[in-house]
Amino acid sequence: MNFASMVLRLSRAALLPAGLLLACAATQARAQTPVPEDARTLEFGKDIFKTKARCQFCHKWDGTGDQGYGGNALSLRKTELTREQLTEVVKCGRLATEMPYHDKFAYTDKRCFGVTREQAGAEAPPDANQFLQASEINAVVAYVFARIVGKGAPNYDECVDFWGKDTQQCEPFRK
C-alpha cells in the first residue's frame, strides 16, 4: 500500500463518524436563516462557477451532478459538506477522483491532506483548467451555498438566473 492510499483510507475511516455529526449539524444549520450574501459576490461566484472554474461541466448548471456534461460529479444540492469543507474541496480537489484542485500551490507542499503531489502519486487529483485566487474560491463557495445547496429540484427561475431569459435551456422547467 502506497502512502497516498494509506492517507485516503485513513481519511475515509475518520470521516465516517464525523460525517454523521456533520449531517446533523448541516441539517440544523440549514434550518436557520441564512446570512445574506452580497449580490456582487454571488454574481462573481456564479461567473466563476459558470466560466472560469467551469464547475457546471461536471456538476451541471443546477448543481445536481451525476452523469454530467464532462464527468460524474456529486450533487451540490444534496451535499452535507460545510462551507469550510467545500472550500477545502475546491482548493484541494479530491484524492483518487477526477475533482480537480483550484489552488495553484495545493500539492507543492502539504497544505492539502498532508501530502505533496509526489506523495499522492497516481491518486493526486488533476489540475484545474484555471487556478483560482482565494477571493474567487470564497465567492464560488458563497454562490453554491446561497443558490444551490439544499434547494431541492431546480426550477425555471433558477434556470433563468443562471442562463438568462433568452435561452432554450430553461424551457423544460417552464410550468
> Where in the chain are the domains?
3-173
pLDDT confidence of residue 120? 96
**pLDDT of 83-141, one tens digit each?**
999 999 999 999 999 999 999 999 999 999 999 999 999 999 999 989 999 999 999 99
Give one DSSP letter per residue of 16-85, joined into a string. HHHHHHHHHHHHHHHHSPPPPPPHHHHHHHHHIIIIIS-THHHH-TTS--EE-SSSEE--SSS----HHH
Percent of the chain with pLDDT over 90: 69
| CA–CA distance, 165 with 58 (Å, rounded to integer) | 23
Q: What band does 68 get if pLDDT is binned at 50, 70 and 90?
A: low
Predicted pLDDT at 66: 79
Grade residue 18 by pLDDT with cuts at 50, 70 and 90. Answer: very low
Q: How confident is the model at residue 20, as a pLDDT?
A: 36
Q: Is the pLDDT of residue 57 over 70?
A: yes
Is the pLDDT at 164 greater than 70? The verdict is yes
Cβ-proximal residues to 120 (8 Å cutoff; 6+ apart), any chain: 4, 7, 95, 107, 113
Helix axis angle for 83-92 and 134-147, nearest 10°, is: 130
CATH number of 3-173: 1.10.760
- The percent of residues above 70 in pLDDT, for the chain, comes to 77
Kindly tell me the burial class for residue 105, based on how many C-beta atoms sit within 10 Å of its own C-beta (0-12, 13-18, 19 or more): exposed
CA distance linking residue 66 with residue 73, whole number of Å:
5
